[in-house]
Structure 1
Amino acid sequence: MAIAETAKDPDDPAPIVSARRFGEALHIDLQTLAQQAHVHRNTISRQPASESVQRFLRDALRVIRAASDLTGDISKALFWYRNETLPVFDYKTAEQLVSDGCADDVLRFVASLEAGAAG
């Protein structure tokens, strides 16, 4: 099962990523998630379909998926996303970079790792 599917709330018919389930998967509380998404803490629970929340969650899932495709292991990808500091990005984690709005940069970095591993 893909990470995006596990982040979907099965009880909600809306095609949105569940902030609650995303937080559970990464073992972070909703307050921390709100800080990462740069929204008020109440936005996460009261307006989870807001564009700012969903954009952050989608970006995070794209990076996690790319890392998972590279490693072949979702647990390793989640650990990397949250904990591995990246020297090329001033020793920030992928999680910090996504919060900073740099998901595309992280995706290019992961693609370069994949190209290096393949070539």
Structure 2
Amino acid sequence: MSTKAFEISASRFGEERTPFLSPKRVAELLGITMTELAGLTGIARNTLAAKSGARRVDTALSPIVRILAMAGDEQRAAIWFKHQPIPGWAGKTAYDLVREGKTDKVLAYLEGVRSGIYA
């Protein structure tokens, strides 16, 4: 996927009139609550909603949005993220790995798929 395609996809997750990502939009796409998103990102639920924590929230959401952008169109990416086991991870999904702090492993897997390693 080109950088431009990523920017277009990621821009859909933006907070209105700010340069930051919207936790609400990410949660809605994934079909999870803000409490579940807090657990996924490791950020307190109150911080997700607070304007003062926008920079920290943006940093926590960026890898998730990148994963979703790399995985394809939004709806299919959300389904894949939550339900499709990643080979080599004992039936764990991207959601499971991100929750365990292994976002880098999911990104590496997607880069491998994009490069043709895991076809």
Q: CA RMSD in A?
A: 2.3
Change (3 A) 1:98 1:55: farther
Q: Which residue of 2 aligns with 1:35?
A: 39
Change (3 A) 1:16 1:24: same
CA shift for structure 1 position 19: 0.5
CA shift for structure 1 position 14: 2.4
Q: Which residue of 2 aligns with 1:96?
A: 96
What is the aligned residue count?
112
Q: Does residue 24 of structure 2 align to residue 49 of structure 1?
A: no
TM-score (norm 2): 0.79
Give CA deviations for 1:66-101 in whole Å, capped at 9, x if unaligned: 111xxxx33222211111112312221112222322
TM-score (norm 1): 0.79
| Structure 1 runs not aligned, ≥5 long | none
Counterpart contact for 1:60–1:95, Cα < 8 Å = no
Change (3 A) 1:88 1:117: closer
Q: State percent identity of aligned pairs.
A: 28
Mean alpha-carbon deviation: is it higher for 16-25 or for 38-47? 38-47
Q: How does 1:78-89 map to 2 (within 5 A)?
A: 78-89=78-89
- Aligned residue identity for 2:107: L
Separation (CA, whole Å) in 2 of partners of 1:56 and 1:89: 23
> Quick one: higher RCO (CA 8 Å, sep 6+), 1 or 2?
2
| Structure 2 runs not aligned, ≥5 long | none
Separation (CA, whole Å) in 2 of partners of 1:49 and 1:81: 24
Q: Which residue of 2 aligns with 1:60?
A: 64
- Aligned residue identity for 2:36: T
Q: Choose which of 7, 10, 13 in structure 2 pairs with 1:7.
A: 13
